Amino acid sequence: MLAVFVRQLDVIAPKAIVCLAVSPANIAENERPISRFRGNWFDFRNTKLLATYHPAYLLRNPNAKGEVWKDLQKVMAFLGLQPKKSSR
């Protein structure tokens, strides 16, 4: 499974990868709870990797949505993107 993922990365050559949950993030990091390394950048095969909480976790823990939003803002800043203003 990892070999297929690595070949896909080589073909796609993304600028950044956002891992949603522990399992994908463990490709680049030792087995640790996601709360220990979420929101931090890692280098994985010449690609920046950032882990954050899985959407299912957010359904059970809505207070964590702010942390995920901060993580996504880091990714947008890295890619040179700005969040759109809400029309509310």
Confidence of residue 34 (pLDDT cuts 50, 70, 90): confident
37-67 per-position pLDDT tens digit:
788 898 888 889 898 999 999 999 999 999 9
Q: Are 68 and 39 in contact (CB under 8 A)?
A: no
Question: What's the CA gap between 58 and 36, in Å, rounded?
Answer: 17
What is residue 52's predicted lDDT score, i.e. its pLDDT? Answer: 92
Quick one: tokens of 48?
A: 């920046």
Comparison of pLDDT for 6 and 73, the residue scoring more: 73
Q: Where are the beta strands (DSSP E) in the chain?
A: 16-20, 41-44, 47-52
